[in-house]
Amino acid sequence: MNAIAPAGASAAAFLARHAARAGASAARDAAAEWLGRAGLPRSGVEAWKYTSLRALGDVAFAAAPAQADPARVEAILAEAGRVFGLEPGLPRAVLVNGRFDPALSRLPAGVRAVRFNEATDLPSADDVASALNALLAEDGLVLHVASGHDAGRMALLSVVIAGDTPLSVHPRHRIVLEPGARLSLLDLAVGQGNYLNNPVIDIAVADGASLVHAKLQAEDVSARHLAVVHADIGAGAHYDSFTLTLGAGLARHEVHARLGAEGGVVHVNGAQLLDGRQHADLTSVITHGAPACNSRQTVKNVLSEHARGVFQGKILVERIAQKTDGYQMNQALLLSETAEIDAKPELEIYADDVRCSHGATVGALDGDQLFYLRSRGVAEHEARAILVKAFLHDAVALMGDDMLRAVLDRAVESWWNRKDA
């Protein structure tokens, strides 16, 4: 049986938009050839076993307009700042409908930013979301931190506004930290309406550098979100990431991290908080390609009503990667009998001197703990909130930057208050 569906309305519309563009690069043409031949994955594709793109494949997404109502954009940014407790003076790069808006942006000292250039910033793609992004990327940023410089904190803010016509945006970013450089990045996606947000970030963390990357996806439930991070980690370098998924009706966040030199460290932690009929998928592949590297991954899911969460995590240890230390854990808390979690932790090890472990647990709120709190006079909704926040606490606490951790805590609080209202 053919594992790939025909292109469908969505893929056909994407290809038509590509065909209308003059002078496309070789990378775009390769992506078009791949998408035209393969279409969007449905059943039978192992990497998409638990996440169907059937609903996506039947929508002919149009290109987003270059301009959006400035007052509406400002209102969305102000609301995000209030809800998530963003510092008013936090340096930021703002994208509106997938395009960089310099008027709304203020970059930190020591961070050099240049606009996306398809001739240099489109490497070949071997996954669906990256190929789609390569096909249609129009804007984005290359952020560059010089050797030995501590750039502090900044935000990468994406705002998408759609009306009656379904839109798609495909921002492409690259973050480069030279040896010894440091940066803490809040990657926040918000928006309103029916759209597809398909961001791709290519990350290079050179020897001895450190990137703290907190992603908060809090988009409209009518939106779809397909994102990919490709990260290459140098010798003694650190990539500390946390992805918190709250929004979009359909979301998938992929992380492909490679430890290519001795002593590198990767953390790919996250949480998915879903209700209604939301579907969110966190898929990761962490490749140990050098000796004495360390990876950690803890992913928590809180699912209610008919929500479905997916975790697919793979640790690949190549033969050269002796002295590898890898850990992976996925835990799910189901708040209703109709919520669902699919977990597939995986180890693929070719070295013989390693320490690797993985696991997965699924459960409901502890009835004894709930009874104990109720017996002490705590109202039921408050008791449930205490237990849910306690379940999430040790995952969010793994974020290494205090300010970013506070933003994630505020986001968890706002989600629960909205759900429990």
CA–CA distance, 336 with 71 (Å, rounded to integer):
39
- 17-49 burial, b at 16+ Cβ within 10 Å, e below that, comes to bbeeeeebbebbebbbebbeebbbbbeebeebe
Q: Residue 298: CB partners within 8 Å, gap ≥ 6?
A: 269, 328, 329, 330, 331, 394, 395, 398
Q: Residue 251: CB partners within 8 Å, gap ≥ 6?
A: 217, 224, 225, 226, 245, 278, 279, 280, 281
Q: pLDDT truncated to tens, each residue of the chain (421 aa)?
A: 333 334 466 777 888 888 777 667 788 888 888 877 777 776 678 889 999 887 777 788 999 998 889 999 999 999 999 999 999 899 999 999 999 999 999 999 999 999 988 767 777 777 889 989 999 998 999 999 999 999 999 999 999 999 889 999 999 999 999 999 999 999 999 999 999 999 999 999 999 999 999 999 999 999 999 999 999 999 999 999 999 999 999 999 999 999 999 999 999 999 999 999 999 999 999 999 999 999 999 999 999 999 999 999 999 999 999 999 999 999 999 999 999 999 999 999 999 999 999 999 999 999 999 989 999 999 988 898 899 999 999 899 999 899 999 999 999 999 998 876 5
* pTM attached to this predicted model: 0.94
**CA distances (Å), origin 186, targets 156, 158, 319:** 6, 11, 35
Q: 197: closest CA among 61, 57, 43?
A: 61
Phi, psi for 105 (deg, rounded to 5):
-105, 150
Q: How many CB atoms lie within 10 A of CB 88?
A: 5
Q: 252: closest CA among 208, 274, 290, 283?
A: 283
